Amino acid sequence: MKKLGKVIDHLEEYFSFFSLIFASLLIFVQVVLRYVFNYSLYWSEEVARYLIIWFIFIGSSIAVREKAHATVDLLLVYLPPRFKRILSILGSVIAIIFFVLIFQSGIQTIENVMQFNNVTPALGIPMYMPYLAIPVGSTLMILRFIQLIIAELRGFQDDLFGQPPTPGEGESR
């Protein structure tokens, strides 16, 4: 399981890095071509848009893994570690339910797009390809929230059996 987690970590990071770099370069080239040479690549904006959409969904999974999403932790500051863990688990369960709903909605959208054989305007690729970012990103975030729950449960186990918590464990951001 840890090897699979590391593979997913690296795939997420490499895809996010290269998609953001490529989208940024493509936008830069498009701006230079349009305003300096009065020429435009008709497909560049569409490619950049879809790369950014994929980047957002994959990057959100990375943010879940790193606990980097914005949180309101006013209440957590005053709670003992055990209650922090309970609230963290509860928050992760709620997030999983939310992303299961997003996943289902994404699948329904893809089915609708495939039913009508929609294609992208400039590239002519099947429209379901950009929409795949929704279920793929949701699945990755669900996996990440499950990992967070497992880590919190292990922390509970360590607390119950008297093992000292590892540095940084159980801290919210």
pLDDT in tens, 26-56: 999 999 998 899 888 889 999 999 999 999 9
Contacts of 28 (CB under 8 A, 6+ apart): none
pLDDT tier for residue 3 given thresholds of 50, 70 and 90? confident
Q: How far is it, in rounded angstroms, from Cα 86 to Cα 108?
A: 33
Q: Is 17's pLDDT higher than 80?
A: yes
Distance CA 148, CA 130 (A): 28
What is this structure's pTM?
0.82
Q: Taking the CB of residue 54, how many other CB atoms lie within 10 A of it?
A: 21
Using CA atoms, how far apart are residues 135 and 144, in angstroms rounded to an integer? 14
Residue type, 61: S
E strands in the chain: none
Nearest to 45 by CA among 29, 61, 58: 29
Of all residues in the chain, the percent with pLDDT exceeding 70 is 90
Give the whole-number percent of the chain exceeding pLDDT 90: 55
In contact, 18 and 52? CB cutoff 8 Å: no
User: How large is the angle between the packed helices 44-65 and 133-160, nearest 10 degrees?
Assistant: 10
Per-residue model confidence (pLDDT) at position 49: 93
Domain definitions of the chain by residue range: 2-160
Number of Cβ within a 10 Å radius of residue 5: 13
The pLDDT score that the predictor gives to residue 173 is 44
pLDDT (mean) for 4-12: 82
Average pLDDT (129-150) is 94
pLDDT at 134 (0 to 100) = 96
- If one compares 167 and 15, the residue with the highest pLDDT of the two is 15
Tally of CA atoms within 13 A in the half-sphere of 37 that contains its CB = 8
Model confidence pLDDT, tens digit, residues 63-101: 999 888 877 777 778 888 888 888 889 999 999 999 999
Indicate the residue type of 109.
T
